[in-house]
Structure 1
Amino acid sequence: MSGDKINPRVDVAFKKIFGVEENKDLLISLINAVVGEEDQVVDLTLLNPYNHKNFKNDKLSILDIKAEGNHGRKFNIEIQITDEGDYDKRALYYWAKLYTDQLKAAEDYSLLEKVIGIHILNFTSISKSKKYHNVFHITEKETGLSYFDDLELHTIELKKFTDAV
């Protein structure tokens, strides 16, 4: 067993490397390597990765890593080895859950913070793009106007990265 290599792309290893308090600096470095300057973090708090169910029949989702940056922004970091289909929908679902879970009854919408999803994929998910790192926002179709700034989804497709190097 000694000498066996640990694959950081496996969920358990990824969470052990980036999702534990003693390695918080590694997670901060990962986030800062991916996001833009305005979303850089100097500190963060690891959050419970379970997205609570509001109703008995709601789907339980467990994120790989959920964190809150020093500026209040929320982060969901996922590693996915195999393409199980519909990853685009899963990424949006995780984002929406993290976004909507921020408010409690009677709280003002102004309290909502930006949620950033970072999805590291070991497969090609976006065949229409040759880039290995794509950043998605909601924009107006014709003008490209960005009005909804609280949504940001990053996909990092490792297969494309390997091909590019």
Structure 2
Amino acid sequence: MEKLTPRVDIVFKKLFGVEENKDLLISLINAIVQEEDQVADITLLNPYNHRNFRQDKLSILDIKAESCTGKRFNIEIQITDAKDYDKRALYYWAKLYTEQLEISRSYDILSKAIGIHILNFTSIPTSEKYHNIFHIKEIDNNIHYFKDLELHTIELKKFISDKDSTLSDIVSKVSSGLDQMGYLFIPS
């Protein structure tokens, strides 16, 4: 019998996307995001992105959540290499960000939106790192002005290249909470 793995959507959602396992979701988020975005509590939100018109594309996120400070999170697990995944990630982020603003509301209520994409394929071949963090920055002087956009990619294929590692090899590689969480997604 095959072992259940959180790399499968339904297992991922059952493990991290249910109220009784909120502590696991908080641990996952805190293992990935930077210190200023750490969360103490989280509210799970409806994963369906609202459509303004019937012809709009319906998108369903794996996990959508909001911190007690208003920061919003989209956490996705993607098994197969999807063409234009970068565009999908931006689309999901844009919906997560814009749905905060209701008619006649002021823009100052908008909070940071963070997309976390755990990928079972190599999405960014030009980077050797398995965890990449993206922001919008000014191209010449690196000014980070638009601070509400943050996207993380975690490429599992880069996390462990040697599936035959011994337990001591694995333990020696673990240097962060994200490393510890990463081993949860590696097949046995």
Q: Equivalent residue for 1:110?
A: 108
CA deviation after TM superposition for structure 1 residue 7, in Å: 1.2
- AA paired with 1:44? I
Amino acid at match of 2:97: Y
SS in 2 for 1:96: helix
Structure 2 residue aligned with 1:19: 17
Q: Unpaired segments of 5 or more residues in structure 2?
A: 163-172, 174-188
Matched letter for residue 90 of structure 1: R
Amino acid in structure 2 at the alignment position of 1:80: Q
Q: Residue 161 of structure 2 aligns to a residue in which SS?
A: helix
Extract unaligned runs of 5+ from structure 1: none
The TM-score with structure 1 as length reference comes to 0.96
Percent identical among aligned pairs is 71
Question: Quick one: distance in 1 between partners of 2:111 and 2:131?
Answer: 23
Partner of 2:182: none
RMSD: 1.1
- 4+ long deviations beyond 4 Å: none
Q: 1:67-106 counterparts in 2 under 5 A?
A: 67-106=65-104
Residue equivalent to 1:32: 30
Structure with higher strand content: 1
User: Which letter maps to 1:156?
Assistant: I
Q: CA deviation at 1:98?
A: 0.8
CA deviation string 1:19-62 (max 9, x = no partner): 00000000000000000110000001000000010011100000
Question: What is the Cα deviation at residue 163 of structure 1?
Answer: 2.1
Write out per-residue CA displacement over residues 80-107 of structure 1, whole angstroms, 9 at most, x where no aligned residue. Answer: 0000211100000000001111011110
1:127-138 alignment runs, 5 A limit: 127-138=125-136
Shift of 1:72: 0.5
